[in-house]
Amino acid sequence: MLAYQGGSKGAFEELFARYRTRLFNYLRRSLGDSVQAEDLLQTLFLRVHRARETYEPSAAFSTWIYTIARNLVRDALDKERGEIARKVIMRKSQRETDEESVPAEERIAAEHTAPETKLQQKEIATRLQQALLSLSLEQREIILLSKYEELSFSEIAAVLGCSVTAAKVRAFRALKALRSMLGNVKELC
Amino acid sequence: MTCEEVRELVPEYVSGHLTSAEVHALELHLQTCQSCAAEVRELSHVWDLLGQWPEEVPAEQTVNVIRQTVVSDLATRQSAAPAREILPARKLIWAIVDGLVFTLGSVAVMAGVASLEGFSAPLLLGSGALWSALYILAFALYFRSGGQNGAVVNLRVIATAGLFTMGFSLLAARTLSVEKLVQHCQISPWGAALFRCVGQEGAYLLFGALYALAPLLVVSFAFGERVQRRPILHGLLCAGLFFLLTLPAIYLQCGAFSLGVGLSWIAGAFLGSVAGAPLGFWLRARGQS
């Protein structure tokens, strides 16, 4: 990051390669919308680029960048409010029919999977998405940061601006809420 | 471990962030508590289930737009940025002028403290030139001030603290020099006992250290507020600068002494410097945190 602050293109490329997919998935899972996540990904990296000189090496870079991502998600959700969930379902069904939108690796793996397993996986993914989107934003972001972004609870607490204990309590409650929502899905596995 | 404590550890347990000792303690509880065991089993299952939401990659077009925007902005800034100067000419002139003024002031103070007659003219001129160079270096660091906006080292604080301490040190030399203090000690009962214990070299080592440590500690603590991180590094750099600045002053005062006394004084000043400034910056940083 320090090299990027100094204007190094190579350093930017390295950071971009390391974080773009992770952040895209964080945004996609937070919003439940890949198209909106791509728009926000652009906004996010441009914001990081503009704010790079204010970055202090005393803070972990991952904490800094996820804090920016989290603020973007909150701003986007504040704008759209309840419309997000409706858009997700519409776009999801559109995406499922569009094979081109599925990444190549996933497509190859899918071709070698039995049809009933594929259906089952899609159903699980859809139910997971619905369950996560039904959580409050606070609960959802803590699951995303701990499960998918693999941040430690001290890093999560720094991103969310709360104590480590509060982050753990919130994570426990989020998991319990997910358990009750995913009751039927567990039977599929 | 209580059921309440287990609940607090569950998120870290399922995400694999617990230490082996914590895992052991938690699993020990699960062996005896059926309700916690069932809850942890179910939540672990939910955690594993979350892994089945596959990852996607952003569209190539989006990636290219971001890359092109950032890279072209970096290129534009690089070509527009002026050649980086170590110190602009105007600031360099100020550093030289200030350095020479401080040198003349310091020599004037030292002329009142120590007899300079024992030094040959070339030796005095050489000492003066070295002192000027060191003062100019200190002011150049002050005017460079490149470390103020979140950089690792804040040069301005280091230079300011070093120069302030040098001022204090000259003031102390003028009012109660180490030489006078040693003389005073020699005629006092406790001082005589001290001299018997540590000898003349030991006394100069001790007082040299105190004369460096005390002002550096106070000044670095006072300026430590502007040091956001790495207080020890700032302290060591400040100590190094002050020690270099004070060397000519010690040399001019040691003209009439033996080599052993002179070296003891220098060693004392060095020890006092490397202890005082890092301690002052560290104490301030600790107080702020």
**Domain B1-78: which CATH class?**
mainly alpha
Between B137 and B225, whose confidence is greater?
B137
Whether residues B8 and A165 touch (CB distance < 8 A) is answered with yes
* pLDDT at site B175: 83
**In a 3-state reduction of DSSP, which class is residue A102?**
coil
* pLDDT at site A100: 47
Which of A184, A181, A140, A141 minimizes the C-alpha distance to A160? A141
Q: Is the ipTM of this complex over 0.90?
A: no
Whether residues A147 and B62 touch (CB distance < 8 A) is answered with no
Q: B271 CB contacts (<8 Å, ≥6 apart)?
A: B205, B209, B212, B213
Q: How confident is the model at residue A145 (pLDDT cuts 50, 70, 90)?
A: very high
Amino acid at B65: V
Closest chain B residue to A43, measured at CA: B66
Q: Does B43 touch chain A (CB under 8 A)?
A: yes
Report d(CA A147, CA A76) in Å as an integer: 22
What does the mean pLDDT of chain B come to? 83
Across A46-52, average pLDDT? 87
Nearest by CB to B229, from A9, A58, A106: name it.
Answer: A58
Closest chain A residue to B229, measured at CA: A58
Report d(CA B215, CA B212) in Å as an integer: 6
* Pairs across A and B, CB distance < 8 A: 122
Judged by average pLDDT, the poorest of A54-63, A150-159, B87-96 is A54-63
**Does the structure show a pLDDT above 60 at A77?**
yes
* pLDDT at site A38: 92
B261, two tokens: 């006394």
Give the Å distances, CA to CA, from A71 to A98, A159, A170, B62, B266.
Answer: 31, 10, 18, 20, 57
Report d(CA B14, CA A171) in Å as an integer: 11
Best of A2, A25, A122, A145 to mutate (most B CBs within 10 Å, chain B):
A25
pLDDT, tens digit (0-9, with 9 covering 90-100), for B92-118: 898 899 999 999 998 888 887 777 777
Whether residues B8 and A168 touch (CB distance < 8 A) is answered with yes
Q: Which of residues 9-38 of B touch A (CB under 8 A)?
A: 9-12, 14-15, 17
- CATH 1.10.10 maps onto chain B at 1-78
- Evaluate whether B198 touches B206 at the Cβ level (below 8 Å): yes
* pLDDT at site B271: 93
Whether residues B58 and A189 touch (CB distance < 8 A) is answered with no
Best of A19, A40, A42 to mutate (most B CBs within 10 Å, chain B):
A42
Residues of A in contact with B149 (CB under 8 A): 53
Q: Does B256 touch chain A (CB under 8 A)?
A: no
Q: How confident is the model at residue A143 (pLDDT cuts 50, 70, 90)?
A: very high
The neighbour count for residue B17, using CB atoms within 10 Å, is 17
Across A111-117, average pLDDT? 52
Q: Is the pTM of this model over 0.80?
A: no
Between A64 and B253, whose confidence is greater?
A64
Between A89 and A43, whose confidence is greater?
A43
* pLDDT at site A27: 93
**Does the structure show a pLDDT above 70 at A86?**
no
pLDDT, tens digit (0-9, with 9 covering 90-100), for A88-101: 555 655 665 554 44
Best of A5, A8, A24, A153 to mutate (most B CBs within 10 Å, chain B):
A24
Residues of A in contact with B7 (CB under 8 A): 172
Across A72-86, average pLDDT? 75
**Percentage with pLDDT > 90 across chain A:** 26
Q: How confident is the model at residue B53 (pLDDT cuts 50, 70, 90)?
A: confident
Closest chain A residue to B72, measured at CA: A9
Count, residues in chain A: 189
Report d(CA B128, CA B132) in Å as an integer: 6
* pLDDT at site A173: 92
**Does the structure show a pLDDT above 80 at B279?**
yes
Residues of B in contact with A21 (CB under 8 A): 55, 57-58
Tokens 């150049």, located at residue: B140
**Percentage with pLDDT > 70 across chain A:** 73
Q: Does B57 touch chain A (CB under 8 A)?
A: yes
Domains and CATH numbers, chain A: 1-99 (1.10.1740.10), 102-189 (1.10.10.10)
Closest chain B residue to A44, measured at CA: B66
**Where would I find the H helices in chain A?**
2-5, 9-31, 34-51, 61-80, 83-97, 104-111, 115-134, 137-143, 153-160, 164-181, 185-188
Whether residues B73 and A121 touch (CB distance < 8 A) is answered with no
- Residue B2 gets the label, from left (phi > 0), alpha (psi -120 to 50) or beta, of beta
Across B203-212, average pLDDT? 86
Q: How close A101 comes to chain B (CA, Å)?
A: 8
Angle at A46 between CA A45 and CA A49, to 5 degrees: 85
